[in-house]
Chains A and B, each alone.
Chain A
Amino acid sequence: MTVGGWIMLVLVLGGVWGGFVYLLARTARRGPG
């Protein structure tokens, strides 16, 4: 895989999965509601 491919992989997976985990953590911090 090219360098561009690896960069895209890190950005997309980091952004989407990281974003999802961050949002779940933020929800968890607020309690069950």
Chain B
Amino acid sequence: MTEQNDQFSSRWGVILAALGMAVGTGNIWRFPRVVAANGGGAFMIAWMVFLFAWSAPLVMAEFALGKHTRRGPAGAIGHLIGAKYNWMGAFVGLCTCFIMFYYSVVTGWCIKYFVASLGSGFVHADSEAYWQAFTTASSQPVAFHLAAMLIGCWIISRGVVKGIELTNRILVPVLFLLLVAAAVRALLLPGAVKGLAFLFTPDWHELLSHKVWLEALSQSAWSVGAAWGLVMTYGVYLRKKDDFVLTSYTTAFGDYSASLLAGIAVMCTVFAVLPEADARAALGASNEGLTFIWLPRLFERIPAGHLFLALFFLALSFAAMSSLIAMIELATRMAGDLGIRRNRAVVLVGVIGFLLGLPSAWKIGVFRNQDWVWGLGLMVSGMLIALAVARFGADRFRKELINTEDEPHPVGRWWTLVIRYVVPVEFIALMIWWFYQSAANYDREAWWNPFRTYSVGTTVAQWGLMILLLILVNRAWAARVGAKTKEGE
């Protein structure tokens, strides 16, 4: 299904594309807050465990699925284990498509703030009023959402080598340089060590808290990009001789490295500039609140803050765009697997992506709801991929699809154990915890209400509706993508 000239041209092309996919806004605006709220150094231990107990094994599984089946998520699982399971892969792909709809809006915000930070008046403006005016009283979020979608679709229309690979060859190294510059600048501020202390000092009692472990799992999964279906899509474009175990580890360690750079940059700046109580308030704000309200205030107070604020938003825009193009490619691949020509598929994805992103651009409440529902949906995607691999035979999958003759770094039996046993246990624990917290603490009165932003009801209703629809159209969809009609065929 893949044309020979539409494949990554080198090993570095694959690594940079995978890094661009993984390093996104979650590394920069979510990681510092989550570490600060969950025991600093103790959180780091749990976070490191999930590098090997969720993210890296699932990244390897995705590369293998894409390379072996030469199909995007909505065809790969059906091709691997039979047509009647095709809906599982379709869920993985559509979950990421729904993330793409609002992620394009976020990318637009980043571009808008980068452009605004180039002007001299921005730093002196009231950052909270500026953010409120931008998101509620103007059509600018729609315009920048459109701009992000147009740029992303233009890159994808250029194909794998001239589009994805070339873009990431530029964006990813520059992004890492910007993060290094931001971290070094923050470390040189007087009092920066207070930020390091908050980030790394372990509170060992926190290791007994299940919340820390579950937050670490969700952060690792969200950040590395495991189970999004994006790696599976890039796996389709691997050459036959390309191995991917080393690439999987490099992607995961590179993503973690970017998170640590961003954590140092943000935490050291926050604690160097603000008294501790205000610093905790800043870190307690939402992702948008920390990034678009607090950080402009902080940069205003440091020497050359104007320049570093612009560089910060440039890094954020690059991180967002390199992830957005991976999502657009996934959606384009899914359309291509259904028989739609690539150029038409890109236009279709662009139009649908723009239209379905509009509610999130207009209403911050819709954005938060979609972020909650489909962000959590990634855990379901991880579970579905693990189930598909287990159905095929986890050890058989490892031996036949990962440790092939082209693979110089075969993965050990630990991988089988993680996919077969550890991932399902983690998924069940995470779901029970999240739902219990929603029902017992966050929203006792209306946890069942499907029209509440963060309720269990809205999550179950939207997932359930999607799964129901996918099961109803499963036979037709499976036939279009060439899934196996009989197991073992």
Contacts and interface: CB of A to CB of B under 8 A. Distances in A.
Given A8-B41, A17-B260, A27-B15, A33 B250 contact: no
Interface residues of B, number: 26
Interface string B184-204: 000000000100110111100
A12 B44 contact: yes
Contact of A33 (B193, B197, B242): B242
B257 A17 contact: yes
Contacts of B11: 27, 30-33
Contacts of A26: 246
B225 interface: no
A6 B241 CA distance: 43
B41 A20 contact: no
Contact of A23 (B10, B44, B250): B250
Interface in B228-272: 241-242, 246-247, 249-250, 253-254, 256-257, 260
Interface in B6-61: 10-12, 15, 40-41, 44, 48
B48 A24 contact: no
A10 B42 CA distance: 14
Nearest to A10: B200
Interface string A5-33: 11011001101110110011011001111
B256 A16 contact: yes
Contacts of B12: 27, 32-33
B246 A1 contact: no
B260 A1 contact: no
Given A15-B48, A27-B246, A9 B253 contact: no
B10 A5 contact: no
B253 A20 contact: yes
A4 B257 contact: no
A5 to B, nearest CB: 4
A8 B202 contact: yes
A27 B250 contact: yes
B197 A5 contact: yes
Given A12-B260, A27-B11, A27-B12, A5 B41 contact: yes
Nearest to A1: B197
B254 A2 contact: no
B250 A9 contact: no
A6 to B, nearest CB: 8
A22 to B, nearest CB: 8
Contacts of B197: 1-2, 5
A20 B250 contact: yes
Given A19-B249, A24-B250, 18 more contacts: A1-B196, A1-B197, A2-B201, A4-B41, A5-B41, A5-B202, A8-B202, A9-B200, A13-B260, A20-B254, A23-B250, A23-B253, A23-B254, A27-B12, A32-B10, A32-B12, A33-B241, A33-B242
Interface of B: 10-12, 15, 40-41, 44, 48, 193, 196-197, 199-202, 241-242, 246-247, 249-250, 253-254, 256-257, 260
Question: 8 smallest A-B Cβ distances: which pairs?
Answer: A33-B11, A5-B201, A8-B41, A1-B197, A20-B253, A9-B200, A23-B250, A20-B257
26 contacts: A1-B196, A1-B201, A2-B197, A5-B197, A5-B200, A6-B200, A8-B41, A8-B44, A9-B196, A9-B200, A12-B41, A12-B44, A13-B260, A16-B253, A16-B257, A19-B249, A19-B253, A20-B254, A20-B256, A23-B250, A23-B253, A23-B254, A27-B246, A31-B11, A33-B11, A33-B242
